[in-house]
Chain A
């Protein structure tokens, strides 16, 4: 029997759980835990410069690896700083375990120094939370936290740890719990066979089918199965922003992604489809546009692990509650050896789809001319070329995020790492840091803008401390591009607070940390700068790329319209 203090139990548990990196920031209430981490060397702690970055870094790691990320912060401001990152993970269903120090139990409720009811503060943005009430509970509670975070529909779990629970003087028996059970939590392991059969029958009979798949396919490790199923049926597929890469984008059957800034052909396909097969997607308002005009002629099959996602905004004709992977596998076995019953109709459907695709070829944006500022789209296409489409691409939020998703071509899941649900500016850089730490041999590039980057740029210091060689492509248009775009479209170009005056000289700023930074203003400088940036995988390089501030993201769905109501450029509309 082994006797350990609460703090040592935490350190030991993290080792036994196989946690390699933990992102955090120390403070009074967490000091016993920090001391325990200091006295071991298996779990490596990365000291960030702001707790929000710790959550984004752990989140980035979780998205890239599929395993839960781990965060350690102190009570009060340490924990409240982490809230935005917790909410980001919650909205995108990312497994995260956040350990928060707390004031000593006997002080809770007294408004003690650095006391915050973090369980209360985070309640609406966590999958679950725990408060440690006795040190002996620690191993079991932590196991439950990891179990809950990573199973079913994943999400963040907060564990609140009063300082006296980790006191070095009190020791209790430690056993690593291999398994835990919660009587009230039994995530589904498979879908209803009858419903799946019904869905497959509809799929085989469909004339104008389209797959619409989301982040659930990525987090549910179902992308191989999905690819097999879609290829076998020969149907078109569109994904959500979160689902990008679950089906190879370079394949002919992939229409791109859908929704507010989705591809013309994706949105047209959805509007005209007679069967929408939704898997691991949640009919978000950025996808559906006006739900009353959404897919007017389609029957809807909706596969999701979370029953509350089904029929939440759009009523499903065939609801299937189950994990994407197992439902897809069951579908594959049911379509095995069977052909679609309407091959002519499907061929006709493809003619239509190819026609829509054809319509937009060469019209997506106007490339810059000699002497004009670079177009952001060109920059992304160049990044994609130089990295051969194989990098982990993180983004912040705004125009550059949409351009990155539109013009980088992803053939693998878990490669586009973006805050889709919450839309958190400041996410991209720390997320890239978290990925690069665990995937040092891969290219990790953060596509950002000067607005977003300034929200988390203090992490340059962290990258310096740990030698994190991420690449940062700053699409610098001197304004909050997406806000400006909306102001152009809806407020007669009154650019209220959407411009950035007094930008730092990014090159000098980055160089002050000892990193390389290049300014790119001219067309001919772009590719050489990118080649330089990606030459050494271990080096952090920052490219400050000046792009055209007048550029808008298109297509753009018209508010309150249907899927097919889109602005296609500043002058064209469907």
Chain B
């Protein structure tokens, strides 16, 4: 099963490599990864999506917790949560397709954020499956480039991941 693990860690050089290294060292999967400092500049928040059965996920969280740089973590998929990813897509926008791209973007609540005579750059946010669906819809028109941030997430309700 797919899990989203959100990690608060020391914003120190080398901390990220320890987390990433752990996954390859122990033969775990990383499907996506994103990381940035939080409102507290000494802390970074890292979100990793991974796949594994309960036993593997238990080991992943235990080993992550063991890393000295990891301060706290939560497996968001254990509870209700919000999951988002941002994607920028460059698509061909010529002739009749130009309107079609705009219409499809509107349907997906995506925005055209850059325009040239030949292409549109579309920005879209959502969960991974929505982004996949958008790419599918754009495929016949011609996708030129895709940049996805990887999944970020947060628990619903009163639950807070902080120190």
Contact = CB atoms under 8 A, between A and B. Distances in A.
A231 interface: no
Contacts of A127: 68
Given A183-B71, A308-B65, 10 more contacts: A123-B21, A127-B68, A129-B14, A184-B9, A184-B10, A307-B62, A307-B65, A308-B63, A308-B66, A311-B58
Contact of B17 (A123, A183, A184, A311): A123
Contacts of B10: 184
Contact of A184 (B25, B55, B62, B70): B70
B59 A312 contact: yes
A101 B17 CA distance: 21
B1 to A, nearest CB: 18
Interface in A125-144: 127-129, 131
B125 to A, nearest CB: 31
Contact of A124 (B25, B55, B70): B25
Contacts of B14: 119, 129, 131
16 contacts: A123-B17, A123-B18, A124-B25, A131-B13, A182-B68, A183-B163, A184-B68, A184-B70, A184-B71, A185-B68, A306-B66, A308-B59, A308-B62, A308-B63, A308-B65, A308-B66
A120 interface: yes
Contacts of A312: 59
A129 B14 CA distance: 9
A165 to B, nearest CB: 15
Nearest to A308: B62
Interface string B62-87: 11011011111000000000000000
Contacts of A131: 13-14
Nearest to B55: A311
Contacts of B72: 184
Interface of A: 119-120, 123-124, 127-129, 131, 148, 182-185, 306-308, 311-312
Interface string B1-32: 00000000110011001100100010000000
A131 B12 CA distance: 10
B66 to A, nearest CB: 6
Contact of A148 (B58, B59, B68): B68
Nearest to A123: B21
A534 to B, nearest CB: 43
A127 B72 CA distance: 18
A312 B59 CA distance: 7
A137 to B, nearest CB: 12
Nearest to B26: A124
Contacts of A128: 68
A39 to B, nearest CB: 32
A185 B67 CA distance: 9
Interface in B109-151: none
Given A124-B21, A124-B25, A131-B14, A184 B66 contact: no
B137 to A, nearest CB: 43
A139 to B, nearest CB: 18
A436 B9 CA distance: 42
A308 B66 CA distance: 8
Contact of A120 (B9, B17, B25, B163): B17
A124 B67 CA distance: 11
B58 to A, nearest CB: 7
| Residue among A124, A127, A129, A308 facing the most chain B CB atoms (10 A cut-off) | A308
Interface string B39-69: 0000000000000000100110011011011
A131 B69 CA distance: 14
A318 B21 CA distance: 31
A128 B63 CA distance: 13
A131 B62 CA distance: 25
Contacts of A120: 17
A127 B55 CA distance: 23
Nearest to A184: B71
Contacts of A129: 14
Nearest to B15: A184
Nearest to A182: B68
A183 B25 CA distance: 25
A257 B17 CA distance: 39
A127 B67 CA distance: 8
A69 B28 CA distance: 33
| Residue among B18, B55, B68 facing the most chain A CB atoms (10 A cut-off) | B68
B91 to A, nearest CB: 39
Given A123-B18, A131-B13, A184 B69 contact: yes
Contacts of A185: 68
Nearest to A312: B59
A131 B17 CA distance: 14
